[in-house]
Amino acid sequence: MDLRKVKGYAVAVARGDRRLLWRAADRWGGEPDDRTFVRMTYEILLGREPDELGFQNFVDHLAHGTRSRRSMLEEVRSSDEFWFDSALRYDDAVFGIHRSRSLFVQTFRPAARILDLGGTHQQDAAGALVALGYPYDFERLVIVDLPVGERHELYGQGGEHSVVQSARGPVEYSFHSMADLSRFDDGSFDVVYSGQTFEHVPPDVGREVLAEAFRVLAPGGVLYLDTPNGRICRLQMEGTGLQFTNPDHDVEYDHDEIVPLFTDAGFVIDQAWGLMHMPRTAADGTFHWDEFGAHVGLFADIEASYILAYALAKPA
């Protein structure tokens, strides 16, 4: 067995990335045989040998065509055993951030017309929203981002595309500041998304971004926004000599600092969550690195979480 394929599969599982999962499974094709495939699935996802009944059940289904390898991978990956036992083996911070943001994206409402502010993905031409697992088909997704030459060097890999056909629908690109949405009509989008982008502009520009997002949303539309929690991030940066967690950040807001910006722009806070809960860090005022990535998901305790996440409604 090619160990590179096994590693690719394990990474796909850890990220919860269906596209990578399917791609890894497709590369395996007819190798290994079904029995070996089932054993490897148990070993990589669950960290154990298959039980006799589970093993034979999957082998029989694969033999009779009542399960595909893809559906079997998805079934095991969605099991309680994986998420409550094995998934914690991938408790690094990168996985925690990615998985928590993916879970946030999966709370978004179905929308025909979507605007993604700063949504270029460094490895996926379909953009960040699709890569994070937005679960619904759309008629139009527009990604607004700076031209490559105007971005920080950290974000130079995402190319300048025009239109990309994703699995969910067509993705367009529009290269300019997210504070200037003048080319889009009032009420022309059902959902606007700002994922880890709002912290990249100073507060005065952030107010312009919110005003423009409010304008282009249809009445009843929603702005979904996630951004680092400044309260926790400042603890992370203590003693480093650095102000922010990312050299391209202009500001990292506390919950109580950012909420007035939303309400001043006319938004109503429909939901507020914390992503990646860090309760000991928040309670002690000391950044606990062993907690960083250990509590994956969405939490009501927003001020004690690493990332702030909001659903902001434009009144109907």
Tokens at residue 4, please?
Answer: 């590179």
Q: Name, in order, each residue with C-beta under 8 angstroms of 12's C-beta and a sequence gap of 6 or more.
A: 20, 21, 23, 24
Residues spanned by CATH 3.40.50.150 within the chain?
93-313
Q: To 10 degrees, the CA torsion angle through 93, 98, 100, 105?
A: 170
Tokens at residue 101, please?
Answer: 């943001």
26 burial level (CB within 10 Å; 0-12, 13-18, 19+):
exposed
For the entire predicted model, the pTM comes to 0.74
DSSP per position, 113-174:
EEEEET---SS-TT-HHHHTT--S--SEEEEEE--GGGS-GGG-SS---SEEE-SSSEEEEE
Secondary element (H or E) of residue 101: helix 93-105
Domain 93-313 sits in CATH at: 3.40.50.150
Per-residue pLDDT 10s for the chain (316 aa) are 444 444 445 445 444 444 545 555 555 544 578 888 888 888 777 778 899 988 999 999 999 999 888 788 878 877 777 766 655 444 567 778 888 999 999 999 999 999 999 888 766 788 889 988 899 999 999 999 877 665 655 555 555 667 888 889 999 999 888 999 999 999 999 999 999 999 999 999 999 999 999 999 999 999 999 999 999 999 999 998 988 888 889 999 999 999 999 999 999 999 999 999 999 999 999 999 989 988 889 999 999 999 999 999 999 9
* 3-class secondary-structure state, position 89: helix
